[in-house]
Amino acid sequence: MAATSFALGTLRPSYLLLLLVATSGIVTPLLSQATDTVSRSQPLSGDRRLVSQGGKFALGFFQPVGGTPDRWYLAVWFNKVPKLTPVWVANRVAPISDPKSSELRISEDGNLVLYNQLNSPIWFTNITSSTSDPTIGMILDTGNFVLTLASNLTNFLWQSFDEPTNVWLPGAKLGWNKITGLNRRLVSWKTSSDPSPGYYSVEIDLGGSNQFLYRWNNSENYWTTGSWTGTMFSGVPEMALYPKSLLTYDYVNNEQENYFMYRTNESKIIAMFSMEIVGQVKAVSWMESAQDWVPFLAMPKAQCSVYLVCGTFSICTENAFTFCSCIRGFSQQYGGDRLYGNSSEGCTRNVGLPCAGNSSRKEKVDGFYALAVANFPDNAWSVAAASDNEYSSLGQSIYVRLAASEFSSPTKTRKALVTGAAIVGDGTLVAVKKLDGISQGDKEFRAEGN
């Protein structure tokens, strides 16, 4: 068995226990599974899993809730939390279809390699070891999955903490190594059941400032935490509310590194930060009474300040259970498991406009519907409003062109002071006119000279 290849001096209590149990001839399936390592002689396959020494984290194959049945991922999750919560996914873009015929192995060159059901390597570490000493993969009580020398378990050749997915665990660095260029950043899952990379990411400012930048599609910066003040980020004052006996932060910026770290008092809370599919980073803690994760920090605080979160022709309403809805005349086009931030998703027009190729429908003239909004996004793809009832108190409107059949009452002709114009969508289906000083609610008026 694997443990016998270790020199006695490097044996840790768990191996000793395994050895003792093995030699006394009472190995139960449960005990033989309770190892924290994968080695040359003991690969990982099927429903076998590694469990860290103190039992806090497990590594194995898992399937996201609501996911496609034949998509499995190699992941690390909280072993003591009854709700399966992956904190790291190895093959996030390349699921395997059958864990029984797939295997995580230590290859001849000492790397960790995940082979799928066709025996093709679909995920691997890429280290070049300077020694021929055997290596092992080991899940630690911090949630870090490491590749290490069997002869020196603290000599990490590779670690999952260097390649985070969407979750940032206590004790892990979020930031970059200025010497090697390694940049540890969080990238959201695509949907709640698909761990492949979504549109939202967060990383330390590579320009050197002490703040985190939020990005959409690796390009558009949509939020920043503000600078670190020593106790909090200037844009997240709530950070300073938590007692040091519960949560502490470390910020390091020197010649080698620029990173942020936090620690929790594990005797009090199980907590993590994650970049959610909706573009916010949330800090959550496990609440035994609720049997669920409960958020205690959201960055940014306002869901609706996340770039493109609801997609096109949509309204984002803060604090609503379903914060995305469609503007009048449009309906949701996506199903339940949606990809937030996709500029081609969102809402589509219920009835096409005559000008959109249907010249036969000349008998009815389409009209404009006035929608007052709280905030215009920079790019006018979507709008944010406090609530439907608050439109009248807000000072800005957009005028959305709809087919005549979308208006229940006869449309009234109105003249509007057009102070600006924006085209949303593909630019041909809708015209949006923005005006200031509107004091009434919904208004309808006929398209003029269009």
Residues within the interface to ligand NAG (CB under 6 A): 126, 152, 154-155, 217, 245, 265, 267-268, 339, 342-345, 351-352, 356, 358
Other Cβ atoms within 10 Å of 5 Cβ, number: 13
| Shortest distance, position 241 Cβ to ligand NAG, whole Å | 16
Helix then strand then coil, in percent of the chain rounded to 5, is 10, 40, 50
Tell me the residue number closest to ligand NAG, measured at CB: 352
User: Closest Cα to residue 165, out of 38, 275, 43?
Assistant: 275
Of 356 and 416, which CB lies nearer to ligand NAG in the complex structure?
Answer: 356
Least spacing, CB of residue 218 vs ligand NAG, in Å: 6
Q: Tokens for 364?
A: 């009815």
Between 245 and 289, whose beta carbon lies closer to ligand NAG?
A: 245
Q: Which is nearer to ligand NAG, 152 or 331 (CB)?
A: 152
User: Residue 216 Cβ, how far from ligand NAG at the closest point, in Å?
Assistant: 8
What are the backbone angles phi and psi of residue 176, rounded to the nearest 5°?
Answer: -130, 155
**Strand partners for 366:** none
Nearer to ligand NAG, 24 or 126 (CB): 126
Q: Which one, 51 or 353, has the nearer CB to ligand NAG?
A: 353
Smallest separation, CB 198 to ligand NAG (Å): 8
CA distance 102 to 293: 31
Nearest to 186 by CA among 251, 280, 119, 102: 280
- Measured in whole angstroms, how far is the alpha carbon of residue 27 from the centre of its chain? 40
Beta carbons within 10 angstroms of residue 394's beta carbon? 16
Q: Supply the minimum distance, in Å, between the C-beta of residue 245 and ligand NAG.
A: 4
Q: What is the largest CA-CA distance in the chain?
A: 92
Q: Closer to ligand NAG at the Cβ: 344 or 393?
A: 344
Beta strands in 231-316 (DSSP E): 247-253, 257-264, 271-275, 281-287, 292-299, 314-316
Minimum separation from the CB atom of position 107 to ligand NAG (A): 13
